[in-house]
Amino acid sequence: MATTERTPTAKPKLVRSLRSGQITIPIEFRRELGIGTDTMLQARIEDGELRLRPVAVGNEGRGSWWLRELYDYFAPVRQEAIDKGYTEQQINDVIDEAVAEVRAERAARDERA
């Protein structure tokens, strides 16, 4: 895939990363690149720079073999929880709590490093 160099129209901006490492892309940049709330970005390091570019994502991920395999792998566990009387919401709440706990542990580890 050939790339073409574009002359940027938005002036350079200084941005500061948050403690978590997140940054905000200035609105002028988002407008110029057509970045919206549902836009996926490809990130890479090139020549010592962080480069982001919007990418189109198709529906090829739907029905993908690996997603089906993952779903099938956890189906017995989900069925066991349903058989024990857990609701879908209760299952999702436990998953959300576990994810939050892992993220908090990772953030604490990153702060110590």
Q: What does the pLDDT look like over 12-43, one tens digit per residue? A: 889 999 988 899 999 999 999 889 888 889 99
Q: Are residues 72 and 94 in the same domain?
A: yes
What does the alpha-carbon distance between residue 38 and residue 23 come to, in Å, rounded to a whole number?
Answer: 17
pLDDT of 101 higher than 90: yes
What does the alpha-carbon distance between residue 15 and residue 85 come to, in Å, rounded to a whole number?
Answer: 49
Q: Which domain holds residue 43?
A: 27-57
3 state DSSP class of 83 = helix
Q: Which residue has the higher pLDDT, 71 or 45?
A: 45
Q: Rounded to whole angstroms, what are the CA distances from 112 to 19, 42, 108, 109?
A: 12, 29, 6, 5
**Residue of 15, 21, 17 lying closest to 113 (CA atoms):** 21
69 found inside a domain: yes
Q: Are residues 87 and 43 in the same domain?
A: no
1 found inside a domain: no
Number of folded domains that form the chain? 2
Q: Are residues 46 and 66 in the same domain?
A: no
pLDDT for 91 equals: 85
11 found inside a domain: no
Model confidence at 4, pLDDT cuts 50, 70, 90, reads low
pLDDT of 62 higher than 70: no
88 found inside a domain: yes
pTM for the structure as a whole: 0.43
